[in-house]
A and B are shown apart, each in its own frame.
Chain A
Amino acid sequence: MNPNEEKVKIITEEFTENDEDAQVRRQKKKSRAQRQQRKKQPRTPGPEEMVSENCHVGPPLEPGEEKPDTHLLSTTARRGPRSLPPVPSTSRTGFAEFSMRERMREKLQAARSKAESALLQEIPTPRPRRLRSPSERESETEFGTEPSKEIQGTQQEDDLKSYTRVKFHDSVRKLKSKSQAPPGFPSAEEAYNFFIFNFDPGPEEQEEKPTVICRDGANQEEEEGEEEGPAQTGDETGEEGLLDGKDAEDFLLGLDPTAHNFVTVRAAEYESTHIRLQKEKEVLFVPSRLTVPTYKKLPENVQPRFLEDEGLYIGARPEVARNNQNIMENRLLMQESGRKWFGDDGRVLALPSPIKPSPSRPPQFTQELSNKAELETLYKKATKYIHRHQHMIGSGDPPGNFQLDIDISGLIFTHHPCFSREHVLASKLAQLYDQYLARHQRNKAKFLTDKLQALRNAVQTGLNPEKSHHSLDTTQTNINEYKSEIRQTRKLRDAEQEKDRTLLKNIIKVWKEMKSLREFQRFTNTPLKLVLRKEKVDQKADEEAYEAEIQAEINELLEEHAEEYAQKMEEYKTSHQQWKAWKKAQRAKKKKNKQAAEENPDEEGGEPFPEEEPVKPIPPEPTDTAIIEQQVRERAVHSRRRPGEPKLVPELTLAGNTTPNEQCPRVEVLRREDVKRRSVYLKVLFNNKEVSRTVSRQLGADFRVHFGQIFNLQIFNWPESLTLQVYETVGHSSTTLLAEVFLPIPETTLVTGRAPIEEVEFSSSQHVTLDHEGVGSGVPFSFEADGSNQLILMTSGKVSHSVAWAIGENGIPLIPPLSQQNIGFRSALKRADAISSIGTSGLTDMKKLAKWAAESKLDPNDPNNAPLMQLISIATSGESYIPNFFRIEQLQQEFNFVSDEELSRSKRFRLLSLRSQEVPEFRNYKQIPIYDREIMEKVFQDYEKRLRDRNVIETKDHLDAHRATVAKYLQQVRESVVNRFLIAKHHFLLTDLVAEEEVPNISSEGSGILGLSLFKLAEQKRPLKPRRKGRKKVTAQNLSDGDIKLLVNIIRAYDIPVRKPIVSKFQQPSRSSRTFREPHAASPSAHSPAHSADYPLSQVLVRPFVEVSFQRTICHTTTAEGPNPSWNEELELPFRAPNEDYSTASLQSVKDDVYINIFDEVLYDVLEDDRERGSGIHTRIERHWLGCVKIPFSTIYFQTRIDGTFKIDIPPVLLGYSKEHNMIMERGFDYARSLSEGSYITLFITIEPQLVPAEPVREKFDSQEDEKLLQATEKFQAECALKFPHRQCLTTVIDISGKTVFITRYLKPLNPPPELLNVYPNNSQATTELVARYVSLIPFLPDSVSFAGICDLWSTSDQFLDLLAGDEEEHAVLLCNYFLSLGKKAWLVMGNAIPEGPTAYVLSREKNHYLIWNPCSGHCYGQYDTFCPLKTVGCLIGPDNIWFNIQEHDSPLRINFDVTKPKLWKSFFSRSLPYPGLSSVQPEELIYQRTDKAAVAELQDRIEKILKEKIMDWRPRHLTRWNRYCTSTLRHFLPLLESSQGDDVEDEHRAELLKQLGDYRFSGFPLHMPYSEVKPLIEAVYSTGVHNIDVPNVEFALAVYIHPYPKNVLSVWIYVASLIRNR
């Protein structure tokens, strides 16, 4: 039973009880609100709920309310304005069944209607508006559709729902009939009925068309109209009960909440099956299965039309069962306009069946492999991509289009070690024969003979006309020319003929030798056989020709000689004349001389003959014909075939038989076998790269190898060299390179098919001696039995080959254009045949090209030439302008929204572009103003200044030109590195973006262990023994100021200097200045009770406190007491990144230091009057600086935490304080400590939150090291890391130019400055310390600061000294090198130290112990010093080896430094990998310039001045007075300190000071620093807090001393002191 329905019933009975108006009123209001709420409720609940809700409350109510209103208005139009007549009441009074209930209801109704009308009058506007408002109408329509939906829903739902629905309808009908029977008598039921009736318009109608409604929701509008009808009727019928209904409804609603309390039980309703079926029949529609007659399906009076019969094509309809079709048709006909579903033929419209009868996909025959035709694989050539190369051909060219064909046909050895003697001869013979053949082919002798003949004829014919025309000079000269030519030709012919003859003779000779050799050795090796064929000649004719030839020659010679004779005679005559003349002159001279000699005989001998005596010319002899004839004949005999002698034609054949193996001696058999074992192949090298090789062929008995292979080289590079390498393999053993053959690169015109086979000779220089018949190579051998006449033959041979360019498919030679001429036009001209053949000469000049094209008659219709023709036509027409450049971004201009000038002029744009370039000044610039005018000019000032200063050396900060340049240089290096880093920063790794769990790994340690993390699930949430968990690391992306804090935990200190008791005689014990604490000094203090108890009563305490200053923020601890105080306090200092840039790059380059200063708090009683002592305390607190520890921020950043005990940097002189040496030594702890001098402080420093240091950029740097060495280093490091992952192992480092260098190359003895060596010539210990001090004076600059993000760069010692800045490695390398040069054994120690972290120290071996040197401070520690900052030792590096620590421990205290023990130290170079003798990267020797003393003095003055000004600046509210006298005293004292290095001067100094400044209370100390810049000096002075004294009569003294060391290394001493005059 539906509870809601029950409720309704209950409520109707409830009215009797609730009779109070007020209550009703109240509840009515409530109900209104409820209704309003309900109105908003979505109409989404299930249909069941819907039905029940419709019965009394919920959405249906609202239209009910509205509709009465509309009718109300309409009725009032009839009845009168606005008055709501109590019609029902009048009618009701006369009614028989007058009950209490009805009366009650009447009353309520009256009141209700009154109120209603009042309400209506009160708010007249909302009502009409609501009536009009479309939303209301909408709700109406919505409501109207509701029941239809219900019905639809119920139809689809199960029985239960339909049952309730039916029931509902039933009740509706019942009620309806009831209301009609007694009209004008509304009851609660009637009212209810009314509403129901109203909402559920005509069930019959609904039943008729439920499917229509469900199909198209768009028809709602129409339906709404239809529903209006029933609603109207309902109103008419229940007009009387209208108001009652409404009121009743109000009641119902109002009473609704209370109704929950009542329950009535009724019998279950039952309906008979018959009735139900009947009802169902009204609702349900069951389509018939019968065939629908055609006329029903078609419009009236239309005959069915069959298209198929008319000849039109109709596809086969899909198969549908007949009865299904009928059902569908019936169903369709039930619908309105159902006919549209039917076609002309009276059947349901249908598309032809989409299913094909046969499969269209080809059948697959997976099993049948034979049927491969369809599935044949096509081979496609792999296409190569173009890779960048310097010889690359223009990118526009299609790659791999060029082909070089190399045809290697064969190889012939002209000599081979396996040649037997016979072979040697045979090859000689073959060569000679080849020569003969070549000569014979050319037949030069014949050609020359013919030429001679022709010339002679010409002379003859020339001479004949001469006789007729004597005067013609031209013919004469012609004849002369002919004659001289005849002469030459004759000579040539004779030479040729002679050569021919000798060649022939040689051939015969060699053949004879060979024959004799064969006979001698009794076997034949070669098939060579020479046959001399005689050609018979006609004896007579031959003789005649011979004779004629000789005669002609004789004649010519005679003629020649005659001419010559004539010429000579001529010459003779002239010279004879001359001689005669000379003779005469001589004679005359002699006479003169004689006379002169008589006059003065001395001169005679001294005067030589001034002229040479010309030889008396000999008259030429006339030629003798006989002699000439004889000569000619002799020559002819020598060089020419004798007349009648048969012509000899040698023919070399291979027809001979070689002796088979069985008949040969053993040595020969061996030789032959050896030959058989040998095989030869060739490698083809293209541009020195092996591209292919021939097959390996066995060496034949004739020492010929036939390859016959053609290699097609697909190339894209222009060939530079083409080489063949001849390799020989003996048996299965090694392959030897016999020789290299360089092939010429073919001409571009040489294409395949036209190239001749060419032979290239090669020879090898190898020496081979064989133990058999083979003659060997490069070794002497002889044919003679006695071994004379030795020959040395080298292996040599010939390769026959041809190289040519291949021709492409379309006949274009595949020749790459010359890469040198890179011209932009090429892409347009590519593939054009002509281009490659003209080279590229014509390309640059269009006119030339056009000219060439015209001359070469290019076919303009050939498509191959089309681009060329087009280009030419453009070029020659001159109309279009061809720019001589190519624009990449043609459209850029259109996209420029302002011109470049405007862009650069606008400050805003400039600012924007600078910001996007991440220029440091503007990187984080926020809110760039929108107008130019709002941008201040000074924004750019810093940036512009920086740009300007880039090349200008700023000396203000440095005061030293050299350092300024160095700083500038470093700045530039840094900038470039930072720029590189910025680019790298934009390359993200997955881990940068995605936080992901590591790959679980069972074996490795760490958080990613799968097993352990599984256990973690089960582990307790709060274990009893909690383990330390790693802090969460923060990537520095979204940090801002104040997010990062520096936590400094100061735990305790040891051995703080204590105040000296004031016992000095100079110091008068004055009442006013006695220390306040003095009386209480002996009293036990809470902080150090144990200590103070032990102290003698006279002991003056020290009250130290620690002040930490970082970035000018100062925090300090409370004051503790005693020399071994314990603070245990945590100080928190904020951290500000430069420019608010919290990126890792920026954080790394923070150069700030954390200063941890230890002060002594001194309280002075300043009470003026002793009488007031009872009533007041006046004390002044003074603090005296005792020392400091300086830790760079970068160290903290990289180490993430710093934990340890540090040595306090205490000034060498602390006036008034002394170290307590006479400490009580009972405890072992004290004993250990007192071994080393100095004070110590235990600290813990970290950054909160923990920042992730940037991963160093892991680049693979190129190197000049040997590849094998690099591999060895990697292997070594991997092995070391496997064993001891936390120990540092360094084998290669990166030098300043970014190259990987093997580390030992840095170590080499280098000379220290000679000045230092001369200081203590006899004391090596002191010299060592001085050298260490010198090294420590070179300023320290961490690499991470200078080269942020890049790993360590190691500079060589000379670079280091030039830069005067470097980090631990550079210091250590220099110190180690000095030690080596001093003859010590020294090593570089790579390990971890505090506070530096991974660092480099120097280990030196003294006589019987080891010393560890901190190169940056110059201090040395014994191996067993507990306070040695070096905590772990990873590896030692010497000049020639690296030793990795494989001992169990790595603390220097617990390890053995004996590197010779291989069990303790794993060495890099060992027996398996010997030291290859690596050259050093260090210079031969270091050259030290003397430092300019004048400049140093000037610098000293300037620093002093600057510091004084600074101190005055820091004391803005006080007057700063300088005590000049004291200053000068201090200034004299400082050099002393330098020379003694701050030792053992305190006492004298104090004495001296006290003597001079007797009546001052003095507190001060010298500071010592290496000099790099002024800023650190200022910081150091500031951190001491000297300026903080605000005693009114305080005076200051400040002295600066700079001690120059060679190479501009400066040691700076600053003495600051405050003086207070004692009264």
Chain B
Amino acid sequence: MAAASPSVFLLMINGQVESAQFPEYDDLYCKYCFVYGQDWAPMAGLEEGISQIASKSQNVQRALVWNFPIDVTFKSTNPYGWPQIVLSVYGPDVFGNDVVRGYGAVHVPFSPGRYKKTIPMFVPESTSTLQKFTSWFMGRRPEYTDPKVVAQSEGREVTRVRSQGFATLIFNVVTKDLRKLGYDTGPAGTQNILGPSLPQSNLQ
């Protein structure tokens, strides 16, 4: 039936926004969302989420640990527009205003498996020193109009950014029917293991 000739493939992602390193800032929370192409549609799980506020740990690493779970399943007909996770981190500044502390994005890994991704986080810079001062003073730092901008290449040439820190994510990726539809994303060695023949032999 449907299993014999699938018309979509599925991509299941779970994992977590594990931790982040923002040497200068504390008490941050993060927001994640997915950016994907027109041929993609979320099937289950949450596309977006906002984590708790995490303070820095007391040890040497001074990591902010969120351990914020991600669990989402997409279906798609086309690998074009493969989902990207966009992470934006916010936190209070000196005056207690909530300001953005970093944007970052990474593609969800293509092949099944467990991945640990560390992505650099950055924020747009003020256009002038005066604005930098006032934005610091007023607590209204420059922000992207839409965090999803960081997942696209268009229009980025007009922005200047400053690096802020790193965030570490863990992905567990499972795909279904991707190979049946002719897309081979796995590493070369896994061809025999992950092929569709395996479940069949089990059944027999």
Q: Do A992 and B59 touch (CB < 8 A)?
A: no
Stretch at the interface among B13-21, B114-122, B142-150, B189-197: B142-150
Complex-state Cα separation, A993 to B7, whole angstroms = 37
Complex-state Cα separation, A350 to B78, whole angstroms = 63
Report A-chain residues with C-beta under 8 Å of the C-beta of B158.
988-990, 992-993
Q: Do A997 and B134 touch (CB < 8 A)?
A: yes
Known: A931-B7, A986-B154, A988-B155. A997 touches B149 (CB 8 A): no
B39, CB-defined interface residue at 8 Å: yes
Complex-state Cα separation, A993 to B76, whole angstroms = 28
Complex-state Cα separation, A987 to B156, whole angstroms = 10
Chain A proximity of B162: nearest CB distance (Å) = 12
Contact of B41 among A926, A934, A988, A1038 (CB under 8 A): A926
Report B-chain residues with C-beta under 8 Å of the C-beta of A1035.
145-146
Stretch at the interface among B24-32, B123-131, B167-175: B123-131
Contact of B39 among A928, A986, A992, A994 (CB under 8 A): A928
Report B-chain residues with C-beta under 8 Å of the C-beta of A258.
none
Q: Do B7 and A934 touch (CB < 8 A)?
A: yes
Complex-state Cα separation, A53 to B41, whole angstroms = 54
B 136-166 binary contact with A (CB < 8 Å = 1; else 0): 0010101111100100001111110000000
Q: Do B154 and A994 touch (CB < 8 A)?
A: no
Closest residue to B140 on the A side, CB-wise?
A997
Q: Do A988 and B7 touch (CB < 8 A)?
A: no
**CB-CB contacts below 8 Å: A144-173 with B:** none
A1472, CB-defined interface residue at 8 Å: no
Q: Do A995 and B145 touch (CB < 8 A)?
A: yes
A1004, CB-defined interface residue at 8 Å: no
Complex-state Cα separation, A992 to B39, whole angstroms = 26
A1098, CB-defined interface residue at 8 Å: no
Chain B proximity of A902: nearest CB distance (Å) = 15
A929, CB-defined interface residue at 8 Å: yes
Q: Do A1013 and B154 touch (CB < 8 A)?
A: no
Known: A994-B159, A1037-B146. A928 touches B134 (CB 8 A): no
Complex-state Cα separation, A924 to B37, whole angstroms = 11
A 925-937 binary contact with B (CB < 8 Å = 1; else 0): 1111111001000
Contact of A993 among B131, B138, B149 (CB under 8 A): B149
Chain A proximity of B132: nearest CB distance (Å) = 10
Report A-chain residues with C-beta under 8 Å of the C-beta of B77.
927-930
Complex-state Cα separation, A243 to B6, whole angstroms = 64
A999, CB-defined interface residue at 8 Å: yes
Chain B proximity of A931: nearest CB distance (Å) = 7
B72, CB-defined interface residue at 8 Å: no
Closest residue to B156 on the A side, CB-wise?
A993
Chain A proximity of B153: nearest CB distance (Å) = 11
Q: Do B8 and A997 touch (CB < 8 A)?
A: no
Complex-state Cα separation, A989 to B127, whole angstroms = 12
Complex-state Cα separation, A999 to B127, whole angstroms = 9
Report B-chain residues with C-beta under 8 Å of the C-beta of A915.
38
Chain B proximity of A269: nearest CB distance (Å) = 32
Q: Do B7 and A995 touch (CB < 8 A)?
A: no
Chain B proximity of A49: nearest CB distance (Å) = 14
Closest residue to B8 on the A side, CB-wise?
A930
**CB-CB contacts below 8 Å: A992-1048 with B:** 992-997, 999-1000, 1010, 1013, 1035, 1037-1038
Q: Do A928 and B159 touch (CB < 8 A)?
A: no
B53, CB-defined interface residue at 8 Å: no
Q: Do A1010 and B155 touch (CB < 8 A)?
A: no
Q: Do B154 and A929 touch (CB < 8 A)?
A: no
Known: A928-B77, A934-B7, A988-B154. A994 touches B143 (CB 8 A): yes
Main secondary structure on A side of the interface with B? loop
Closest residue to A925 on the B side, CB-wise?
B38
Known: A928-B77, A929-B77, A934-B7. A997 touches B39 (CB 8 A): no
Closest residue to B75 on the A side, CB-wise?
A927
B 107-118 binary contact with A (CB < 8 Å = 1; else 0): 000000000000
B50, CB-defined interface residue at 8 Å: no
A1557, CB-defined interface residue at 8 Å: no
Q: Do B146 and A930 touch (CB < 8 A)?
A: no
Contact of B124 among A930, A994, A997 (CB under 8 A): A994
Report A-chain residues with C-beta under 8 Å of the C-beta of B155.
986-988, 992-993
B 37-51 binary contact with A (CB < 8 Å = 1; else 0): 011110000000000
Complex-state Cα separation, A929 to B127, whole angstroms = 44
Chain B proximity of A215: nearest CB distance (Å) = 20
Closest residue to B80 on the A side, CB-wise?
A912
A44, CB-defined interface residue at 8 Å: yes
**CB-CB contacts below 8 Å: A899-920 with B:** 912, 915
Q: Do A1000 and B130 touch (CB < 8 A)?
A: yes
Complex-state Cα separation, A986 to B158, whole angstroms = 12
Contact of A926 among B39, B131, B138, B149 (CB under 8 A): B39
Report A-chain residues with C-beta under 8 Å of the C-beta of B154.
986, 988
A 1380-1420 binary contact with B (CB < 8 Å = 1; else 0): 00000000000000000000000000000000000000000
Closest residue to B161 on the A side, CB-wise?
A994
Complex-state Cα separation, A996 to B154, whole angstroms = 19
| Most chain B beta-carbon contacts within 10 A, residue among A44, A930, A987 | A930
Q: Do A996 and B135 touch (CB < 8 A)?
A: yes
Q: Do A997 and B138 touch (CB < 8 A)?
A: yes
Complex-state Cα separation, A1013 to B138, whole angstroms = 8
Complex-state Cα separation, A1486 to B131, whole angstroms = 58
Complex-state Cα separation, A511 to B61, whole angstroms = 110
Report A-chain residues with C-beta under 8 Å of the C-beta of B142.
994-997
Report B-chain residues with C-beta under 8 Å of the C-beta of A924.
38
Complex-state Cα separation, A986 to B156, whole angstroms = 11
Contact of B135 among A912, A928, A987, A997 (CB under 8 A): A997
Report B-chain residues with C-beta under 8 Å of the C-beta of A928.
38-39, 77-78
Known: A930-B7, A999-B128, A1000-B134. A993 touches B144 (CB 8 A): yes
| Most chain B beta-carbon contacts within 10 A, residue among A924, A993, A999 | A993
Report B-chain residues with C-beta under 8 Å of the C-beta of A994.
124, 142-145, 159
Complex-state Cα separation, A926 to B146, whole angstroms = 21
Closest residue to A924 on the B side, CB-wise?
B38
Report A-chain residues with C-beta under 8 Å of the C-beta of B145.
992-995, 1035, 1037
Report A-chain residues with C-beta under 8 Å of the C-beta of B126.
996
Closest residue to B95 on the A side, CB-wise?
A1017
**CB-CB contacts below 8 Å: A1549-1605 with B:** none
Complex-state Cα separation, A987 to B9, whole angstroms = 34
Report A-chain residues with C-beta under 8 Å of the C-beta of B124.
993-994, 996
Complex-state Cα separation, A408 to B31, whole angstroms = 76
Q: Do B59 and A44 touch (CB < 8 A)?
A: yes
Complex-state Cα separation, A925 to B78, whole angstroms = 13
Closest residue to B150 on the A side, CB-wise?
A993
Q: Do A995 and B144 touch (CB < 8 A)?
A: yes
Report B-chain residues with C-beta under 8 Å of the C-beta of A993.
124, 144-145, 149, 155-156, 158-159
Chain B proximity of A898: nearest CB distance (Å) = 13
Q: Do B41 and A927 touch (CB < 8 A)?
A: yes
Q: Do B130 and A1038 touch (CB < 8 A)?
A: no
| Most chain A beta-carbon contacts within 10 A, residue among B59, B80, B134, B135 | B134
Complex-state Cα separation, A1441 to B33, whole angstroms = 58
Further 5 A-B residue pairs, CB within 8 A, beyond A926-B41, A996-B124, A996-B143: A927-B39, A988-B155, A989-B158, A992-B145, A996-B135
Between A and B, 29 residue pairs with Cβ closer than 8 Å are A926-B41, A927-B38, A927-B39, A927-B41, A927-B77, A928-B39, A930-B8, A930-B9, A930-B77, A986-B155, A988-B157, A989-B158, A990-B158, A990-B159, A993-B145, A993-B155, A993-B159, A994-B124, A994-B143, A994-B159, A995-B144, A995-B145, A996-B124, A996-B142, A999-B128, A1000-B131, A1000-B134, A1013-B138, A1035-B145
Interface residues of B (CB under 8 A from A): 7-9, 38-41, 59, 76-78, 80, 124, 126-128, 130-131, 134-135, 138, 140, 142-146, 149, 154-159, 181
4 shortest interchain CB distances as A-B pairs: A988-B155, A996-B142, A930-B77, A994-B124
Interface residues of A (CB under 8 A from B): 44, 912, 915, 924-931, 934, 986-990, 992-997, 999-1000, 1010, 1013, 1035, 1037-1038
